[in-house]
């Protein structure tokens, strides 16, 4: 057998194996469970899921609230105010900030998601 032919066939085989492995790793998500879709539907129909459904959904909705409040506090601080309190409720279009400047208290309303000032009122 010709050594260059043997060498070429070995290299081609290794390339095919490598490509097959890389393709398999890239197309299959980590932790994929083939039975997850089947059992997920059964779980959503259970009494336990229905009992805690509101809690599960509220956790998902409130996950970004601290980041939103921190961004609002940074925005008001950059305007020269000292931030005392930030309130944001999911679904509202305004973020309410209580702040101090020059010895006086202010209530500042910011629009969400643009963080533009809507209203500044002395408290």
| 43: containing domain | 39-123
CATH of the domain at 46: 3.10.450
Phi/psi of residue 103, each to 5°? Answer: 80, 5
Q: Supply the pLDDT for residue 1.
A: 61
What is the percent of the chain with per-residue pLDDT over 90, rounded to a whole number? Answer: 37
* Mean pLDDT value of segment 68-91: 92
Nearest CA-CA partner of 92 in 68, 56, 119: 68
**SS3 state at 1:** coil
Residue 109: per-residue pLDDT: 96
Q: Look at residue 107 in the predicted model and tell me its pLDDT.
A: 97
59-69 pLDDT per residue, tens = 545 678 888 99
What is the pLDDT at residue 104? Answer: 95
Q: Per the structure, how many domains does the chain have?
A: 1
**What is the pTM assigned to this prediction?**
0.51
- Mean pLDDT score of the chain: 78
Helix, strand, coil fractions of the chain, as percent rounded to 5: 50, 25, 25
Give the least confident one: 6-10, 57-61, 77-81.
Answer: 57-61
Per the domain annotation, does 70 fall within a domain? yes
Domain assignment present for 4? no
In terms of Cβ atoms closer than 10 Å to its own Cβ (0-12, 13-18, 19+), residue 102 is exposed
pLDDT at 91: 77
């Amino acid at each position: 057998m010709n050594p260059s032919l043997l060498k070429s066939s070995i290299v081609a085989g290794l390339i095919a194996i490598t490509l097959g492995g890389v393709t398999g790793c890239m197309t299959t998500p980590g932790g994929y469970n083939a039975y997850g879709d089947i059992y997920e539907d059964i779980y959503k129909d259970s009494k336990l899921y229905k009992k805690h459904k509101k809690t599960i959904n509220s956790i998902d909705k409130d996950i970004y609230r601290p980041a939103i409040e921190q961004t609002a506090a940074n925005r008001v601080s950059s305007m020269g105010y000292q931030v005392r309190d930030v309130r944001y409720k999911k679904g509202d279009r305004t973020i309410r900030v209580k702040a101090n400047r020059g010895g006086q208290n202010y209530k500042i309303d910011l629009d969400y998601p643009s963080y533009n000032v809507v209203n500044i009122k002395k408290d």
